[in-house]
Amino acid sequence: METSQNIQETLSSNEIMLNLTDLKKVYPTPNGDYVVLEDLNLYVKKEEFITIIGHSGCGKTTMLSMIAGLNEITDGKISILGSSIKGPGPDRGVIFQSPSLMPWMTAMENVMLGVNKVFPHGNKKEREDICKYYLNKVGLSGAFHKKASELSQGMQQRVGIARAFAIKPKVLLLDEPFGMLDSLTRGELQDVLIEIWNKEKITAVMITHDVDEAIFMSDRVVMMTSGPSAKIGDILPIEFERPRSRKKVLAHNDYYEYRKHLINFLEH
Amino acid sequence: MKDSLLRAFRFLGLGFLEPVVRLAAGEDSKKNVIQIFKKVLAPIASMILFLGIWYTGSKSLYNKEANYAIEKTRSERGDAESEKTRDCIASGDVSCQPNTLPSPKQVWNSFQLLLEDHRQISANKEAFIVKTSALNKKRLEQGKDPIVYTGRPSFVDQIKTSIKTVFAGFLLAFLFATPIGIIIGLSETLRNSFNWLIQILKPVSPVVWLLLVFMIVKTLTKDSTGDTSYIISFISVGLCSMWATLVNTAVGVSSVDKDYINVAKVLKLGTFQKIFKVILPAALPLIFTGLRITLSVAWMVLIAIELLAQSPGLGSFVWEEFQNGANDSNSKIIVAMFIIGFIGFLLDQIMLTIQKLISFDKGSDV
């Protein structure tokens, strides 16, 4: 943590997109307060992709939903470009673990729901073009008008990705977005996500359980200690060049060093 | 052709005819014959079994009544008279038939008779309208009310009246209970504050509702001379049946999947959009389940309410027949019973079809 603080001091404040300072979350229970997060400090630079890894129940999702504004902050501060967040808002796009599409709407309508909100001034054609652009990007050019309930899990999550990018958020929050998919689909969707991200370079915070996913996707892997009172345990910068290819990453010598480092942390 | 036919059948709730269509189209004959046996012949067999039990049951009840009548005459008036009674019963003379559960055949005959009666009454009515049309025109010019047919309504007319009443009641329940259910569902405070009222009023019997409505409507319509029994009965039907919709709507609206709500929050949808684009569509399956229950409850209580409110319809038909005690009254009551059941089933099918059309949740066809 000391290292992270030091780096932060050397960065000028306008390079930091998202900043969590002394974040604390307490859930009251019948047996007294339960402290989920305490003294959590983390910053994310502009155009940075970080992943958060840690044991189940350590408070990763709590932290992410606090950033999203869906969960109240007990103490501390979350700020985007220097200003504190107040509740949820379209400057933070969220991709949930379950696709969370409205099953009664088509793929297009689902994406449109957010686009309408963010670009209320554009005409219908323009808004539709935005939706189409992102649906094409996630490989759903043939399924614009399919009902969400008719799409497979993988395709639904593609719509979820399109919906999140289409509102052009400042920060993208991903809560184990591929956790419910089989490993083949997961690989495909990682490629889809990273490809669209390479273009848009939206600051992203992603929770994952998958060490390989974390190394492949992110610039830094943030390791959280186990709860209660979870905080940042360690941060591992991943120095691979972008755009990355899975093959090259896997063949790189550092890959196994990174992997060992992460697994070591998780096992202790 | 075949596929669209199958889809149409399934849509209309005639899915059991699927193997027949497939067989006719020349598909795998062995599999389809088995399917026909399962889906078509087995229900027919159960129908035959049902009629058989009905027939034997009514026969034995008939014999019991007949023997009792013969024995009674014997003990009261001697052997000769009892022989006469026996012959009278055996001859099928209407004057001495035992009054008990009618056989399927008697019920069928009554059904035919009722239809015949309907044809006759309709003919009378038409003749009456033709006859009075000239006179009515003149009365209209003089500013008088036209003369209307006031003869006895036929069985079919009673059915029509009943359906009209049930739809008026259902509409009332729908217009009243859905908006209230939505409002209550959206606000936890309102839900908590009105819960006691709903829980207490929900189990109240149709009869009591009828009396309550009667008290209110009677006073409200003090100045009017018209027949209020129809108004009373449809309002009572609506009040009895609306609870299912109210509770289901409130539950549906308040228990929308947290994920959908989170999406709405993250996208910062306005209240209006949140309600109409997210919450209502998500709650629609439950709302519809409520409406289906409401319609079937409405149909069920309608008969009792018509009977008590003296308003025309199937309920008063049944009651009049029961009071009538004529020879074929019992079989007419059974006819009414089947008609009531059949229409109830039909109404439910209609609701199911509408639900399939507008709801996203295609899985719920229970």
pLDDT score recorded for residue B365: 40
CB pairs under 8 A between A and B: 55
SS3 A35: strand
Do B306 and B313 form a contact (C-beta atoms < 8 A)?
A: yes
Give me the residue spans of the domains in chain A: 47-69+83-91+169-226+233-267
In this structure, the number of other CB atoms found within 10 A of the CB of residue B164 comes to 14
DSSP string covering A195-228, please? HHHHHH--EEEEE-S-HHHHHHH-SEEEEEPPSS
Angle at B168 between CA B164 and CA B173, to 5 degrees: 145
Residue of A nearest to B360 (CA): A104
Amino acid, res. B217: V
SS3 A57: coil
Residue among A87, A98, A104 whose CB faces B281 most closely: A104
Q: How far apart are CA B46 and CA B24, in angstroms?
A: 25
CATH number of B153-358: 1.10.3720.10
Read off the tokens for B101.
């559960």
Give the burial class of B330: count Cβ atoms within 10 A of its Cβ; 0-12 exposed, 13-18 middle, 19 or more buried: buried
Give me the residue spans of the domains in chain B: 2-94, 153-358
Q: What is the pLDDT of residues B138-184, one digit of tens each?
A: 888 887 777 777 778 888 888 998 999 999 999 999 999 999 999 99
Inter-residue long-range contacts of B271-279, CB under 8 Å, 24+ positions, other chains counted: B273/A117, B275/B182, B275/B186, B277/A102, B277/A113, B278/A102, B279/B186, B279/B253
Q: How far apart are CA B222 and CA B219, in angstroms?
A: 5
Residue B198 clears pLDDT 80, i.e. is over it: yes
Residue B131 clears pLDDT 60, i.e. is over it: yes
Pick the CATH number of A47-69+83-91+169-226+233-267 from 3.50.50.60, 2.60.40.3080, 3.40.50.300, 2.40.50.140: 3.40.50.300
Contacts of A93 in chain B (CB under 8 A): 266
Residue of B nearest to A102 (CA): B260
Q: What is the pLDDT of residues B334-358, one digit of tens each?
A: 999 999 999 999 999 899 888 888 7
Would you call A113 and B267 a contact, using CB atoms and an 8 Å cutoff? Answer: yes
Residue B50 clears pLDDT 90, i.e. is over it: yes
pLDDT score recorded for residue B258: 87
Read off the tokens for A251.
């063949």
Contacts of B282 in chain A (CB under 8 A): 102, 104
Would you call B265 and A149 a contact, using CB atoms and an 8 Å cutoff? Answer: no
Contacts of B356 in chain A (CB under 8 A): none
SS3 B180: helix
Q: How far apart are CA B350 and CA A169, in angstroms?
A: 46
SS3 A99: coil
**Distance (Å) from the C-alpha of residue B284 to the closest C-alpha of chain A?**
10
Would you call B259 and A98 a contact, using CB atoms and an 8 Å cutoff? Answer: yes
Residue of A nearest to B278 (CA): A102
Residue B135 clears pLDDT 90, i.e. is over it: no
Would you call B268 and A93 a contact, using CB atoms and an 8 Å cutoff? Answer: no
| H or E segment and range at residue A52 | strand A49-53
Give the burial class of A42: count Cβ atoms within 10 A of its Cβ; 0-12 exposed, 13-18 middle, 19 or more buried: buried
Among residues A127, A230, A217, A125, the alpha carbon closest in space to that of A174 is found at A217
- Asked whether the ipTM of the predicted complex exceeds the cut of 0.85, the reply is no
pLDDT score recorded for residue B354: 87
Residue of A nearest to B256 (CA): A102
pLDDT score recorded for residue A149: 87
Q: How far apart are CA B237 and CA B313, in angstroms?
A: 13
Would you call A70 and B262 a contact, using CB atoms and an 8 Å cutoff? Answer: yes
Q: What is the pLDDT of residues B252-285, one digit of tens each?
A: 999 998 889 888 888 888 888 889 989 999 999 8
Read off the tokens for A191.
């490629």
Q: Is B269 on the interface with A (CB under 8 A)?
A: yes
Pick out chain A residues at pLDDT < 70: 1-13
Interface of A with B (CB under 8 A): 68-70, 87-90, 92-94, 96, 98, 100, 102-105, 113-114, 117, 147, 149, 167
